[in-house]
């Protein structure tokens, strides 16, 4: 079982990063939807801390994934280079960009509250922006909007992977097992 990608197969490192991110992102989306309906308070404060910690983990993983893809390029896509191919490429890059922008806007919004932003209730990270009521509202609005776009793209990505697998092209199998 190869760790690195090859021209026709995903290596173990890529697959582990992909599926770990999938679990974290879906869990984070569910948690974010839950806390968006809550009033912050002492009983719910730990959920906000969990959301921030998971957000930093996702941010670190997407940076790691990008660096990994530079050092171990992913295999060539299966199928012709048609409109669907280019739409999938654009969606992948949009998902990568959103997985960078969403944690950054959340970090900025949290920084704008003037309250320390912490990872795992242990490490304080430096604020990205100065405290500001306007900035807090703006950054969290961006965070919310970008998250909704990510939810739509992730849904489309998953449906497209299932569709391609049902058509027998092996794309999903390749992400699960390495080779189609």
And the tokens for 111?
A: 């920084």
Burial class of 117 by CB neighbour count within 10 A (0 to 12, 13 to 18, 19+) = buried
| Tens digits of residue pLDDT in 44-77 | 889 999 999 999 999 999 999 999 999 999 998 8
Q: Judge whether residue 180 has pLDDT over 80.
A: no
| Tens digits of residue pLDDT in 118-151 | 999 899 999 999 999 999 999 999 999 999 999 9
Burial class of 18 by CB neighbour count within 10 A (0 to 12, 13 to 18, 19+) = middle
d(CA 129, CA 112): 6
Please name which of 167, 161, 155, 132 lies closest in space to residue 26, comparing C-alpha atoms: 155
Tell me, what DSSP letter sits at residue 42?
T
* Count of beta carbons in the 10 Å neighbourhood of residue 7: 8
| Tens digits of residue pLDDT in 91-117 | 999 999 999 999 999 999 999 999 999
Q: Which domains does the chain have, with CATH numbers?
A: 12-177 (1.20.950.20)
Please name which of 133, 153, 151 lies closest in space to residue 143, comparing C-alpha atoms: 151
Give residue 65's pLDDT: 97
Give residue 79's pLDDT: 83
């Amino acid at each position: 079982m190869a760790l690195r990608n090859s021209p026709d197969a995903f290596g173990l490192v890529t697959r582990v990063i992909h599926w770990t991110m999938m679990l974290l992102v879906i869990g984070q989306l569910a948690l974010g939807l839950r806390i968006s309906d809550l009033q912050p308070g002492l009983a719910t404060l730990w959920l906000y801390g969990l959301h921030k910690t998971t957000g930093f983990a996702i941010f670190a993983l997407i940076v790691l994934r990008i660096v990994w893809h530079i050092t171990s390029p992913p295999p060539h896509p299966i199928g012709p280079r048609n409109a669907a191919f280019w739409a999938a490429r654009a969606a992948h890059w949009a998902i990568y960009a959103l997985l960078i922008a969403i944690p950054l806007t959340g970090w900025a919004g949290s920084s704008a509250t003037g309250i320390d932003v912490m990872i795992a209730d242990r490490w304080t990270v430096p604020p990205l922006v100065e405290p500001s009521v306007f900035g807090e509202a703006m950054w969290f609005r961006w965070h919310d909007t970008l998250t909704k776009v990510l939810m739509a793209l992730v849904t489309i990505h998953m449906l497209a992977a299932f569709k391609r697998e049902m058509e027998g092209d092996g794309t999903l199998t390749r992400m699960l097992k390495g080779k189609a």
